[in-house]
Chains A and B, each alone.
Chain A
């Protein structure tokens, strides 16, 4: 969408994103993923950023305190995400994101205060060290909880134990 478009429908969306583009003018087919580095991750967010830049993919990369935000066409973003995950598979987590990075409706640079989704990341970050441990030591468990026994069965067991004690 160019700046000189005089179409009334497109003019409605002319809110600058700060990077030369206008809000959502080119976002319809793009996706956003957040790469979140868990506690004890082998790479820092700066190293991750360098790695992503060296992939030379046509994506928008935004460095953040918890990792990076990637925005671009689905194939490119998913390639970058998969390669980034291979850096440390059990400590790098991926989150979906609806709003593009720097969107004035969500970006804290425009609004002030933490972005709403940041509190969710903060809450989940506390669990990530245990999640990483579990991913490093995979195990299968029984999903069916232990069933309660009937009263008759229980009374039979009590009687049996009582009889055994009497014999002793």
Chain B
């Protein structure tokens, strides 16, 4: 099952999803398409004029082009997601924050998809971190069970 994560470049979240046999949807995979394709490989112009246009699907025309450009990266993640893990209240600098509005829009879009979503708070103590891992593992194991039940039907 394809699981979206937020922050979309988190190592811990992506690693736990891989461990449980699911596929994490991470922004690095989207970036790879951008940076290894020769036709747009011209830094600092890795964003092409097509990207803000693609972002129009998620944000209106009066929204800054930076938000729309970022949404063109996060868009495929939102579209493909079959489940999502969102970490709230992460400190500034954790994950690819860049633009707070893009992050809000991504989380908003994930919440409004009809998919199972696990929302967590960024852990601030040892017990919270351990509890967070238990919650993620339980959520991912439940996804397996739900998937099997759907197959049976």
Contacts and interface: CB of A to CB of B under 8 A. Distances in A.
A139 B137 CA distance: 8
B9 interface: yes
A23 B42 CA distance: 11
Majority DSSP secondary structure for residues of A touching B: mixed
A131 B28 CA distance: 22
B41 interface: yes
B137 A120 contact: no
Contacts of B141: 140
A31 interface: yes
A41 to B, nearest CB: 14
Interface stretch (A49-57, A122-130, A147-155, A156-164): A122-130
Interface size of A as a range: 35 or more
Contact of A96 (B28, B42, B118, B135): B28
Interface in A1-52: 9-10, 12-13, 23-25, 27-28, 30-32, 34, 36
Contacts of A124: 10-12, 94
B11 A95 contact: yes
Interface of A: 9-10, 12-13, 23-25, 27-28, 30-32, 34, 36, 93-100, 103, 105, 117, 119-121, 123-124, 127-128, 130-131, 133-135, 138-141, 143
Interface of B: 9-12, 14-15, 18-19, 24, 26-32, 34-39, 41-43, 91, 93-96, 118, 123, 126, 129-131, 133-135, 137-139, 141-142
